[in-house]
Amino acid sequence: MRKSLHSTLLNTRAGKALLDTQNLLRAQITNFTFNLGFSGKFYHTGTIEEDEGDDLLLGSVDEFWWFPHMWSHMQPHLFHNESSLVEQMILNKKFALEHGIPTDMGYAVAPHHSGVYPVHVQLYDAWKKVWNIKITSTEEYPHLKPARYRRGFIHKNIMVLPRQTCGLFTHTIFYKEYPGGPKELNKSIQGGELFFTVVLNPISIFMTHLSNYGNDRLGLYTFVNLANFVQSWTHLKLQTLPPVQLALKYFELFPEQKDPLWQNPCDDKRHRDIWSKEKTCDRLPKFLVIGPQKTGTTALYLFLIMHPSIISNSPSPKTFEEVQFFNRNNYHRGIDWYMDFFPAPSNVTTDFLFEKSANYFHSEEAPKRAASLIPKAKIITILIDPSDRAYSWYQHQRSHKDPVALKFTFYQVITAGYHASAELKALQKKCLVPGWYATHIERWLTYFPPYQLLIIDGQQLRNDPAIVMDEVQKFLGVTPHYNYSEALTFDSHKGFWCQLLEEGKTKCLGKSKGRKYPPMDSEGFSVKLLQRSQCGTVKASTQIGTTPSIVAETGATKSEIALGKSF
């Protein structure tokens, strides 16, 4: 149970009652200790009696646990700069040191949940820098309501625990004026909502307000009676742990919650209210090109950015044009990091932002993560014969001097068995796994409806890109219509289509693209059956006008890869 001290102050009698009640609760709850939050700016700003209450608490500083709010109890998201937050925190830390308040608990709470979720990364960085914070808590993840869905997560090595609601709010201070009357409060305690919160949650954190502990002392009344009722009617044994131990215990119980699942802050009014006003949600992509690799995704990318109304992300220094946010640890950097790859709305006249990361296609995490953050985004994938894709990846690795690819033939790589080296197995996985089209598309269709998915025939894109790009434009609903027939020209020397520039000049894919590989040998060709046996059947209702879908039937030969309007 946590208690927050800020602008409303306790008098001496209420302070003594707090200490007495803590001792009383320790008889029922092992190690029970109130965790008091402080905003030092409000110290000694009340009446003489209230100032004496401040002194009583600080004179009993070792009886409690303590956590910092902001110096002036301001909401962190209003301080866009990390440096401003650091200044506020340093003032509060100076106050703590001057008054003997422990500064090593590793726990902090942001006023009004601000900055914890939706994440204001500047808060996390400032917390680390000034207080070395390891734990915080919020009611906001993933949403405030329903409370039973609240979860924890870890961001920037700070463990965020879910807080519960106990029915006591800032202005809930008089017994007779409790919303719905005293009977409602007692009903909640004695077998109602508050009781079941404790019963159904192995760990419950309640954040209450100082005003609940003055006046009629409803906070003390509530928790004493709750402890009595739980002890009388259940065999539960309640205990209190220090914040660090509590957080470690929580994620031991719920390890699956460690990874956050980012959502669009603008989709929830309450989230919008506690997200920085300096930020915008208009820097999220409207569609994704998800791969797989070696199917023509780079060509599609270059064709897309030719369109005057379509803008891609700025390139990542580590992965060239690809951000690789949803499928890698970059995801843990948060959505601020992701959105910084896209232009600010004031700098563009279109909202057709997109990114291409070819590893998204076969990622187990990417579909769920993408659907959480951009649920209305359209998804584009390109498929070619899966054995050709595998062979292309093998040759790609040879051209990059991969020692395993140089040492083994394609057939040896594909057919490597259980006793193969880890390096050989890794290359085999890179060749085969992205080609299990049915498995991966089914995963994407678990999170996105079929009408948001477009499957492009990679061979058709290579042979007649203008027709494919017309269908892509229809699928995206982008305007104005761009005439790719006039904008593209076939370069017979390079063997693929290029952008036609002024004065007959062309802009083509780089040297690393469109390489001509030696044909697959007879042993490698037999792998087509093997690869297709891994493929399963792809049947996606993705027809937009005459947009083709690709069907890779189990056991089919290359000639049986069929195009159809919808299935």
Distance CA 454, CA 480 (A): 20
Q: What is the β-pairing status of strands 287-291 and 310-312?
A: unpaired
Cβ atoms of 309 and 480 within 8 Å: the answer is yes
Distance CA 212, CA 228 (A): 19
Cβ atoms of 354 and 377 within 8 Å: the answer is no
Task: Please state the φ and ψ torsions of residue 130, each to the nearest 5 degrees.
Answer: -95, -45
Please give the radius of gyration of the chain, using alpha carbons only, rounded to the nearest integer. 30
**Long-range contacts, stretch 184-187, CB < 8 angstroms, 24+ apart:** 185/218, 185/222, 186/225
In 418-505, where do the E strands start and end? Answer: 453-457, 488-491, 496-500
Cβ atoms of 135 and 246 within 8 Å: the answer is yes
First to last CA, the chain: 56
Tell me the one-letter amino acid at 94.
K
Q: What is the per-residue DSSP string for 451-465? A: GGEEEEEHHHHHH-H
Distances (CA, A) of 85 to 75, 90, 130, 413: 10, 9, 10, 55
Distance CA 323, CA 367 (A): 15
Task: Please state the φ and ψ torsions of residue 532, each to the nearest 5 degrees.
Answer: -70, -25
Distance CA 24, CA 22 (A): 5
Question: Of 475, 264, 485, whose CA–CA distance to 380 is shortest?
Answer: 475
Distance CA 260, CA 559 (A): 44
**The two structure tokens encoding residue 540:** 């996606």
Question: Of 387, 370, 383, 351, whose CA–CA distance to 531 is shortest?
Answer: 387
Q: Does the annotation mark 279 as catalytic?
A: no
Question: 539 Cβ partners below 8 Å, 6+ apart?
Answer: 549, 551, 567
Distance CA 279, CA 344 (A): 10
For residue 165, with 0-12 CB atoms within 10 Å meaning exposed, 13-18 middle and 19 or more buried, which class applies? middle
Cβ atoms of 105 and 67 within 8 Å: the answer is yes
Distances (CA, A) of 432 to 292, 320, 395, 403, 537: 11, 24, 13, 18, 16
Q: What is the β-pairing status of strands 506-507 and 496-500?
A: antiparallel
Question: Of 125, 234, 222, whose CA–CA distance to 164 is shortest?
Answer: 222
Distance CA 169, CA 207 (A): 9
The Cβ of residue 469 has, within 10 Å, a number of other Cβ atoms equal to 23
**The two structure tokens encoding residue 155:** 């961001």
Residue 480 preceded by cis peptide, ω within 30? yes
Which candidate in 294, 430, 528, 539 is catalytic?
Answer: 294
Catalytically annotated residues: 294
